Amino acid sequence: MYTKKVITALLLTLFCTASIFAQSKDEMARYQQELEQLFEKAFNAATDNERYNANEQALSLLEEALLGEKSFAWKWSFDHNVSVLTAADDKFKIFSWAIIRDNGEYECFGIMQVYNPRTEEYDVHVLHDKAEEIFNAEESTLMADSWYGAVYQDLITIKYEGKVSYTLIGWTGGNTIIQRKVIEPVTFKSNSSQPIFGAPVFKHDRNIRRVLLQYSKNAMVNVRYDEQYFVVEEKKKEKKNGKMVTVTIPHEEKEKMIVFDEVSPVIEGMEGLYQYYVPSGLENAFYFNNGKWILRENIRGRLHEVRAKDFTPLKKKPAAYTVPPAEGMPTEKK
């Protein structure tokens, strides 16, 4: 009799667990469907008022969904307008997207689901885009309520010496004349889920907390995390004609790194006016070593399946553009 009672209790427990799991799954599917409809309106409605109203509803509903007990495990599936990235160690998940206004400007929105080691649960943090209000953004450490808004394209998780480094790569439309790419380290307050954006992990400049590439609205700038072959030039002493001389010997190495286009003004004298910045034709990179991102310039990187070729950068020529005082944008000389 006792054995039957134990078996019955176990069966009831399993049934209840399965029922709760099924309810949770059904609930998350409902959230998914409702959010897809709201995001479709937020991105495609005809007016600012309609887009922002739908976006506000979507943000509120997503926050509600993420507070659910089993929500972190849910595999969200939105179209390309909403980025969902998860850290490799499941420390956090980050959602980000951008709404375009009628005047052509962008505003980014984000929300994070972060594991709290103190409560052993996931907390939710809504991110507030303050990019246009932040002075000296590259050197600022920011919190969720002063986020340098971006739509993130990659989340790099690197384990080293018992620690974990998180770095985000993102894009923002900026204003009507420029756009930006951002390389954003993320840390968390000790024994907390509170995110901190920006960190002194760029070895070439200890004041830098994030890397910003600002460039023309009409340009395309590539930033990616790849395993790449790259050329290293090693200097060695050799004896020639009875004298010791320094020679440069190039060879290839392979490493995972953040590769990005160098940007510079297409018109001489326009330094700092980012609407005139475009890729220069050179690539730089950051590689990770002992908790720091180390700058490697002019890497001439290539993917492993592409054979290396000799490369000589093109010589710079005088700008082929003039700037009309009325528009302030370059036009080609006749």
pTM for the full predicted model: 0.80
Among the three residues 81, 101, 123, which one is the final residue of a domain in this structure?
A: 81
Could you list the residue range(s) of the whole structural domain that residue 49 is in? Answer: 1-81
Tokens of 269: 């004298």
Identify the CA nearest to 200 among candidates 192, 191, 208, 190.
208
- Kindly state whether residues 42 and 90 are assigned to the same domain: no
Q: Which of 54, 8, 62 lies closest to 30 in space, CA to CA?
A: 62
Q: Which residues contact 180 (CB under 8 A, 6 or more apart)?
A: 150, 171, 172, 174, 212, 213, 214, 215
Q: Around Cβ 271, how many Cβ atoms within 10 Å?
A: 11
Residues 237 and 267 in one domain: yes
Residues 250 and 117 in one domain: yes
The tally of domains found in the chain comes to: 2
The last residue of one of the domains, among 81, 116, 135, is 81
Average pLDDT, the chain: 85
pLDDT band at 298 (very low <50, low <70, confident <90, very high): confident
Instruction: State percent of the chain over pLDDT 70.
Output: 83
- Whether 83 contacts 151, CB under 8 Å: yes
- Per residue in 115-133, pLDDT (tens digit) is 999 999 999 999 999 999 9
Whether residue 154 is found in the same domain as residue 291:
yes
**CA 307, 308, 309: angle at the middle one, nearest 5?**
120
**88, 70: one domain:** no
